[in-house]
Amino acid sequence: MSSRRRNRPLPPAAPRPAPLPVPPPEPFGGAAWSTGLVAAALAILAATMAVYGRTAGHEFLSLDDPDYVTGNPWVRGGLSRASVAWAITHSYAANWHPLTWLSHMLDVELFGMDPGSPHLVNAALHIASTALLFLALRAMTREPWPSLLVAALFALHPLHVESVAWVSERKDVLSTAFGMGTLLAYAGYARRPGLGRYAAVFVLLALGLLAKSMLVTLPVLLLLLDAWPLRRKEPIARLVLEKLPLLALSLAISVKTVVSQGAAGAVSTTEVFTVPVRILNALSSYLLYLGQTVWPAGLACFYPHPAIVAPESRALLATGLAGAAVLAGVTAAALLGRRRWPYLLVGWLWYLGTLVPVIGLVQVGEQARADRYTYLPLIGIFLALAGALADLGARRPAVRRGVAAGAGIVLAALTGLTWRQVGVWRDSESLWAHALEVTDRNYHAFDHLGTHVASRDLPRATKLFEEASAIKPYDTAILVNLGIAYAHGGRTDEAIAKFEAALVRSPNLAGAHFNLGISLVARGDLEAAATHFRAAIRIRPEDVEPFLALGNLHARRGEWERARGCAEDALRMWPNSVPALYQHGVALANLGDLLAAGRRFTQVVEKEPTHVPAHIDLGRVALLRGDGAGAIAEFRRALELDPSLPRPAGELALLLATHPDPRLRDAAEARRWAEHAAKATGHREPFYLEVLAATCAEAGKYADAVQWQLQALALAPPAQAAGLRERLTLYEGGQPWRRAIGR
């Protein structure tokens, strides 16, 4: 073989491909807005506003709203330095969420106690979350239409009604709004990392966590979004390291939340909710939430836990195993198709992961599941669905219009269902009656409905409480409510038996001690009542009612110094409490400090202008201080508010008939109010008969005055007889009575 190199012709060069066109730089946020996209977004906005605008006419509910707003003196007092400090430093209603407390206080500061305004604030926050979700997904995926579909499903799905139409779920809509803001800020950071952008992510997440700890899984979710749709190329170790400050923040808030819930007794033990029961219920809930997502019917504000209402049933085992099979199958399919359909895996893991804090492995409360728990997690399901539809439309353009039309029909149907579900939340009776319709053996609904109707239909309320107790006879809250119903119905001994039964099971149940004390007062056993009031104070020193009840007991005994001490203890805890301010004023007046008492009563009517007893007592204080005109004005104001009351009518009539200043006397008006008061009390109260006698004497009808004075003398206790006889002598001598004004 020759060593000479053989020259072979080279093959012809392949033609060089034409360079791909370079797209123009795209602004942050994805493709430019199109007319159709804007129109669709506005239509979704209008539908959401129309659906949730109805809540402007809704009422506060018996479910948690008393703890969060209507019965919380700190919230009712609005924003102040003291209330802000309380919101930051205190756990209350088994939660620590300072930003949520501050938002409720701001509502009161801006709108007073109008229930419609906080409902509309919730709706506005829901709309804000919808817009931020759309912008965040659009920035991450660069796909405006699928992003808009996800936002529309989030805005209009019936499972989200509970979070929006319930004032106490302000924590949900507020935290999610900050959560969606966190996603949008993170999209900007992922495109162009920088300390300022990272700080924005950290601050928004912190604000969301301070509203509700549901966002604790968000740092892990951000790591998931790094893979898709952001497709970040940094090493995984760097991406994890980047999330550590966010994880530390979430962990700190989680610990604080669990401690708060545990201290309030909201975390259930394994006595009823055993570990296998919790696992089965979690698997069942994952499945049932999916079912309600597809077919949102039979939604309720409370789903009884099977371990309580059907402990012998195998239904939980069956649904739990079915849930395990579905979860395993979908997870396996999503993993297998992760390269071709990454949105399926990301959406599915979003759903699974964000439900972990509320899936029931740590059982808080007694519900099996709750619609509000899906508020954030369902975004993952919507993301997977929107991605699949977009993929289908892209692969088969012929079906794109069909997909769009189908999505429109589904959204219209969901809007109608959401409209109907919003109506369920209009008031407590509607809410709990609906829960009884769509669930079985719902002891919680029986109990709450009974509480709601008790003031106007005590027999019906008692029957509802008895139904609840039959389902769950060991429930201490139901025993207490049944006892309260018996007490209001005059069945004092039965009420005491229920309260004592509750205390046998839960010796540290403050409500049972308090209500047992009230019933013992009704039975006349004041010493035992005081013992139970003190027990309630020891167990829950943050509750104002036991302090006031103990103070009233001391007042009943004439122990005004102790009554003042109880009111002052209450005011240290709740400085804005109207009942505590009023009780303090009464104690001060009886101790002779009229100036301080008047200031307290003035504070009461400033905070609650329709507080009739405070107006009456302001009149009495003015009278004792020699201010007859001021007393007359206060008594008249009390009668304007409630003309049926005999006490201010009698006080006003006596003053108009006997005041030493003739410019303040009015015999005709005095007689009219005196007759009203005497008639209202069946002519059996000596004070009002004496007032009637004084008005007759002022009119010159001394014979009538003598007759009424004799009737008053016959009914009066011996201690009052001397004064009555003295005035009788005046009338018999043809002289009117002139009352000494002042001390």
Residue 129 — pLDDT band, cuts 50, 70, 90?
Answer: very high
Mean pLDDT in residue range 540-557 = 92
Burial class (CB in 10 A: 0-12, 13-18, 19+), 1: exposed
pLDDT above 90: percentage of residues in the chain: 83
pLDDT at 19 over 60: no
Q: What is the Cα–Cα distance from 695 to 653, expressed in whole angstroms?
A: 7
- 267 pLDDT tier (thresholds 50, 70, 90): low
| 3-class SS of residue 576 | coil
Provide the token pair at 154. Answer: 């989030």
Residue 15 has pLDDT above 90, yes or no: no
pLDDT higher at 51 or 90: 51
CA distance 162 to 571: 35
Instruction: Find tokens 């004064």 and name the residue.
Output: 723
SS3 526: helix
Q: CA 677, CA 544: separation in Å to the nearest integer?
A: 34
pLDDT-based confidence at residue 698 (cuts at 50, 70, 90): very high
Q: Characterize 456-470 residue by residue with b for buried, 16 or more Cβ atoms within 10 angstroms of its Cβ, and e for exposed.
A: eebeebbebbebbbe
User: Does the structure show a pLDDT above 90 at 78?
Assistant: yes
pLDDT beyond 60 at 104: yes
The torsion angles phi and psi of 95, rounded to 5 degrees, stand at -145, 150
Helix, strand and coil content of the chain, in percent to the nearest 5, comes to 75, 0, 25
pLDDT tens digits, one per residue of 379-415? 999 999 999 999 888 777 778 888 889 999 999 999 9
Mean pLDDT of the chain: 91
Q: Once rounded to an integer, what is the mean pLDDT over residues 591-598? A: 93
Please compute the mean of the pLDDT values over residues 552-577 and round it to a whole number.
93
Whether residue 587 is predicted with pLDDT greater than 90 in this model: the reply is: yes
Helix-helix angle 342-355:218-227, to 10 degrees: 170
CA pair distance 515, 503, nearest whole angstrom = 11
Q: What are phi and psi of 740, to 5 degrees?
A: -75, 125
Give the number of residues written for the chain: 743
Give me the mean pLDDT over the 521-542 stretch. Answer: 93
**Identity of the amino acid at 186:** Y
3 state SS for 221-284: HHHHHHHCCCCCCCCHHHHHHHHHHHHHHHHHHHHHHHHHHHHCCCECCCCCCCHHHHHHHHHH
**Mind listing the pLDDT tens digit for each residue in 277-306?**
999 999 999 999 999 999 999 999 999 999
Please check the confidence at residue 26 and state whether its pLDDT lies above 60.
no
pLDDT at 2: 39
How confident is the model over 88-109, as a mean pLDDT?
93
pLDDT at residue 329 in the model = 97
Q: What per-residue confidence (pLDDT) applies to 4?
A: 40
**Predicted pLDDT at 33:** 72
Report the alpha-carbon distance of residue 26 to residue 309 in Å, rounded: 58
Q: So what's the pLDDT on residue 455?
A: 86
pLDDT tens digit string along 142-153?
999 999 999 999
> How is residue 11 annotated by DSSP?
P
Give the pLDDT confidence score for residue 570 in this predicted structure.
93
| pLDDT confidence of residue 18 | 42
What percent of the chain has pLDDT above 70?
Answer: 94
The one-letter code for the residue type at 11 is P
What is the band of 739 on the pLDDT scale with cuts at 50, 70, 90? confident
Q: DSSP string of 168-206?
A: GGHHHHHHHHHHHHHHHHHHHHHHS--HHHHHHHHHHHH
Q: What is the pTM of this model?
A: 0.74
